[in-house]
Structure 1
Amino acid sequence: MFAGCRAPTHWCDVHLLVPWIDGGETGLDDSAPLRERHHTQVHHGFRVERRPDGRRHSHRPDGTGTTTPAALVPAA
């Protein structure tokens, strides 16, 4: 998810953090659920990265950003 977004996952599309054409893996470790608005922003200069601790960090085009407060784990 985009850091700070609380949209339910059923409103989201899956976005690959590193596209497979650039060597990314198609899987949960390389994906983020993004609602339509945030998915569009990612394709227009915003970035989302997954940190080693599982938290995601969103970067604005100017380089500033926010981090999710806790690791997001898929529901069982």
Structure 2
Amino acid sequence: MVDNQGDVVARITIYLRAGCKHCADAVRMLKDQGHQLKSISISGSGSITAIGSGASHDTHPVIFVGDKRLNPPDALAMFAN
């Protein structure tokens, strides 16, 4: 994906659950930094396994940059600055 200035921008997808504080914090931090997100609610999906890509536990949020799944706690560390 390329932004208006011609810079390459990573495609960020975040899977989250309603009422999840960590999910809300992650969305807020990424948006505050100017990232465009595709947010997908998995509330009611029963399990993070609905996402696929080897996810087998209920850790939220689940963040993908492009096709790469970031694993907590490192998921947001790359965006921390």
| TM interval, short-chain normalised | under 0.3
Greater RCO, 1 or 2 (C-alpha within 8 Å, sep 6+): 2
Say which structure is richer in strand: 1
| TM-score, scaled to structure 1 | 0.27
Larger Rg: 2
TM (norm. structure 2) is 0.26
